[in-house]
């Protein structure tokens, strides 16, 4: 599985975070076009965003979030070089996390 991409950049008095996760986000309702069988549900359920090791934003997803989920949020009080970490866990218990430094 390829890496999660995160960009955290200071714009004015806010840090703007843009994140692209790699995940199939299967709802469990889609049929395989060849076999006609249902493709089992496989989607990210929980996303946790941390600034300086403290949780600032939590997200819960259903399979209704698009494949390779995109998430953007903003917050005040970030400084250049601060660590910004995002991690996800899916319905199969798989997880991935990535950490970047806030850029100016």
Write out the residues near another protein by the rule CB under 8 A. Answer: 14, 27, 29-33, 39, 45-46, 51, 54-67, 69-77
Our CB check for another protein shows the closer of 2 and 76 to be 76
Our CB check for another protein shows the closer of 70 and 103 to be 70
The least CB distance from residue 52 to another protein, in Å, is: 11
Q: What is the layout of strands, in order, in the sheet containing 95-101?
A: 44-51, 83-90, 95-101
The least CB distance from residue 89 to another protein, in Å, is: 8
The least CB distance from residue 29 to another protein, in Å, is: 6
The least CB distance from residue 63 to another protein, in Å, is: 7
Our CB check for another protein shows the closer of 47 and 100 to be 47
- What does the chain come to in residues? 104
In contact, 21 and 71? CB cutoff 8 Å: yes
CA dist list (Å): 63 to 15, 19, 70, 93? 28, 18, 13, 15
Distance CA 86, CA 55 (A): 9
Distance CA 100, CA 49 (A): 12
Our CB check for another protein shows the closer of 28 and 103 to be 28
């Amino acid at each position: 599985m390829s890496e999660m991409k995160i960009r955290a950049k200071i714009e004015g008095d806010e840090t703007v975070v843009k994140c692209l996760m790699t995940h199939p986000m299967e709802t469990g309702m889609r049929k395989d076009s060849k076999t006609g069988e249902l493709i089992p549900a496989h989607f990210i359920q929980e996303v946790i965003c941390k600034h300086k090791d403290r949780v600032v934003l939590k997200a819960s997803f259903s399979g209704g979030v698009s494949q390779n989920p995109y998430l953007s949020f903003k917050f005040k009080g970030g400084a250049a070089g601060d660590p910004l970490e995002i991690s996800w866990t899916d319905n199969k218990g798989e997880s991935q996390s990535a950490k970047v430094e806030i850029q100016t």
